[in-house]
């Protein structure tokens, strides 16, 4: 085990840096020791792990497989340590999660703060990724769990909790649409829209609306970044189209208003807390999952208490 872990540490550092010399400097070991470890394993498996190029080292196909396996091994070892510490009554360990951009503010950061207050021995890593990348990270085990849209078509994921999220118009509080809880898609005709672009998941729903209604909307701007879209709405460049989740914080603060698009062809999007179906969460991950799962309903859409009629 120690020899294998030493090789992996050397190998993965070389793979990341593309140089034995640079890896030796970072690890504070001799370059010859690193080279010897790599050559021994290459001889044992009968395949080169690196292409030796004038510009440095590049992973071969076998090296890519070894790199992925090394990442999984390191993650599994961290889980084993966490489980052993759990047997000793220690709530310690490291947990990695992946979330979509809309969750980088509000409920999830608040949940992490609460978890850290209760379990200071647990460290948490958060990757903010686009929706498909979250799915892949959960499925391949590079994170303990993830929160993403529309997970039901993926067999490799298990859903721990889910809520429905709706699409709507985002406007300043003094905009005419701000006085209504719902409005049809046609209400935006004649107004400049700030439209989400791929890879944002809502871009597909807008394409469905355009195709089904035959309406040609006027695009004042497009962006693949939620923060940019909300900023453009605040600057009154146009009306934004986002999900209730994307602007939950701004609506609660009273700086933006959200009006649900009421067209019947538009179904809510499912936001889900997921783990890998083939992998049991570590003890630390189980603690964090339970805490987030308990507060997951806060991410669902709640219409205003005093809603006006649909326009």
The CA distances from residue 16 to 13, 21, 50, 64, 67, in Å, are 5, 12, 12, 11, 9
Residue 99, both tokens: 């979330």
CATH of 91-163+270-299, one of 2.30.30.60, 3.40.50.2300, 3.40.190.10, 3.90.700.10: 3.40.190.10
For the domain covering 2-68, report its CATH number.
1.10.10.10
Q: What sign results for the dihedral spanned by CA atoms 61, 64, 69, 73? A: positive
Over residues 210-259, the pLDDT tens digits come to: 888 888 889 999 999 999 999 999 999 999 999 999 999 999 999 999 99
Q: Mean pLDDT of residues grouped by 10 in the chain (311 residues)?
A: 70 90 89 89 90 89 88 77 62 88 91 91 93 93 93 82 93 91 89 90 86 88 94 95 92 93 88 91 88 88 60 54
Same fold, 91-163+270-299 and 167-267: yes
Rounded Cα distance between 305 and 181, Å, is: 9
Note whether 73 and 141 are within 8 A (CB). Answer: no
**What separation in angstroms does the CA of 63 have from each of 42, 49, 52, 57, 166?**
10, 4, 12, 11, 44
In CATH terms, the fold of domain 167-267 is: D-Maltodextrin-Binding Protein; domain 2 (3.40.190)
Domain ranges of the chain: 2-68, 91-163+270-299, 167-267
Residue 17 token pair: 């840096």
The answer to whether 226 and 200 are in contact (CB under 8 A) is yes
The confidence score (pLDDT) of residue 87 equals 57
Percent of the chain predicted with pLDDT > 90: 45
pLDDT in tens, 290-308: 999 988 888 888 776 554 4
Question: Considering the entire predicted model, what is its pTM?
Answer: 0.67
């Amino acid at each position: 085990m120690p020899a294998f872990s030493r090789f992996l540490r050397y190998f993965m550092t070389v793979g990341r840096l593309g140089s034995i010399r640079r890896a030796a400097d970072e690890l504070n070991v001799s370059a010859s020791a690193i080279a010897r470890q790599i050559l021994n394993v290459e001889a044992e498996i009968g395949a080169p792990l690196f292409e030796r190029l004038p510009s440095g080292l590049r992973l071969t196909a076998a090296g890519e497989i070894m790199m992925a396996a090394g990442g999984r091994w390191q993650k599994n070892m961290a889980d084993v340590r966490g489980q052993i510490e759990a047997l000793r009554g220690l709530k310690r360990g490291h947990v990695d999660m992946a979330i979509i951009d809309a969750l980088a503010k509000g409920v999830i950061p608040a949940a992490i703060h609460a978890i850290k207050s209760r379990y200071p021995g647990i460290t948490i890593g958060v990757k903010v990724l686009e929706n498909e990348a979250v799915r892949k990270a959960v499925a391949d085990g590079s994170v303990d769990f993830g929160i993403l849209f529309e997970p039901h078509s993926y067999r490799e994921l298990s859903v721990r909790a889910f809520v429905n999220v709706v699409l709507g118009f985002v406007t300043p509080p003094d905009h005419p649409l701000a006085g209504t809880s719902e409005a049809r898609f046609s209400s935006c005709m004649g107004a400049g829209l700030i439209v989400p672009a791929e890879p944002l998941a809502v871009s597909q729903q807008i394409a469905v609306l355009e195709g089904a209604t035959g309406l040609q909307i006027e695009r004042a701007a497009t962006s693949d970044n939620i923060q940019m879209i909300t900023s453009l709405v605040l600057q009154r460049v146009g009306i934004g189209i986002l999900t209730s989740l994307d602007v939950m914080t701004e609506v609660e603060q009273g700086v933006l208003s959200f009006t649900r698009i009421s067209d019947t062809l538009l179904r809510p999007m499912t936001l889900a807390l997921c783990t890998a179906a083939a992998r049991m969460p570590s003890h630390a991950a189980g603690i964090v999952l339970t805490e987030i799962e308990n507060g997951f309903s806060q991410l669902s859409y709640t219409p205003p208490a005093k809603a006006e009629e649909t326009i």
